[in-house]
Amino acid sequence: MKYLFATSNASKFNEISEIFNDIGLELEHCEIEIEELQSDSFEEIALHSARKAYEQLGKPVFVEDAGISVDSLEGFPGPFTKYVFYTIGIAGLLKLLEGVSDRKAEYTSVLAYTDGNQEKVFKGSCRGSIAREYRGDGGWGWDPVFIPEGEDFTFGENYSSKKEHSHRSKSARALADWLKTNG
């Protein structure tokens, strides 16, 4: 059985697909337009999007909402990460953090699944910090500036480590394990 992942982000699909493949599950990319709920809750956004995707597809589906939250910016950008990335980008975030010594941050991934009757939410997080400059050209999104806790590299410098450490790998493994038992 193939599981539907509704996302317009091919990089997200590739990351989660690789994790599913490792567990022996097939993933199908479903690119549909879903109006994103504006909220300060990753869970609320993901559940709303999963419901909307199910309405369009009429099949079991899951979606992801993810973002990076910087402690010294009181959790900003959080659920507004995509907007911030496409407006001020990494350079803008680094500018906001100029002169800031506390660069701790957390990547969060929330996967919401629905089959029309049952809804499940799977959350993964990865603590770390924001580098002072771009480091590495691997990965995508914030990877060149995110240093996982306990490491000295960014995901941009060591993209293969993302599969082990990342927020997305944790939420995807939890969903895949649940689907193997319940799907």
Phi and psi, residue 77, nearest 5°: -80, -20
Contact criterion met (CB below 8 Å) for 155 and 161:
yes
Cα-atom radius of gyration of the chain, to the nearest Å?
Answer: 16
**Pick the catalytic residue: 65, 102, 115, 177?**
65
Query: How far from each other are the two terminal CA atoms of the chain, in whole angstroms?
Result: 9
22 catalytic per annotation: no
65 DSSP assignment? E
Sign of CA dihedral 167, 169, 171, 172: positive
**Inter-axis angle of helices 167-182 and 10-23, to 10 degrees?**
50
Q: Among all residues, which ones are annotated catalytic?
A: 65
